[in-house]
Amino acid sequence: MAEVKIQEGESIESALRRFKRKVLVDAVRLDRYAAPNEDCCTRCGPA
């Protein structure tokens, strides 16, 4: 779960922007994650 703490003097908009960026990065990480039982060729597709 993404979490962002608002710093002193920081606007809500900038904190929200940082939060969205973290969520997108986490989503990309999960998308690229392959379970250990998948073999390389399954992840990469046909050669």
pLDDT at position 11, please?
93
Choose among 23, 19, 21, 1: nearest CA to 10: 19
- In the structure encoding, which two tokens stand for residue 43, read together? 């992840």
Which pLDDT score, from 0 to 100, does residue 13 have? 94
Q: Give 19-30 pLDDT, tens digit per residue.
A: 999 888 887 777
Weakly modelled stretches of the chain, pLDDT under 70 = 31-47
Residue 45: predicted pLDDT: 59
Q: What are the sequence ranges of the domains in the chain? A: 12-44
Residue at 43: amino acid letter: R
Write the secondary structure of 8-37 as one string of H (helix), E (strand) and C (coil).
CCCCHHHHHHHHHHHHHHHHHHHHHCCCCC
What is the structure's pLDDT at 47? 54
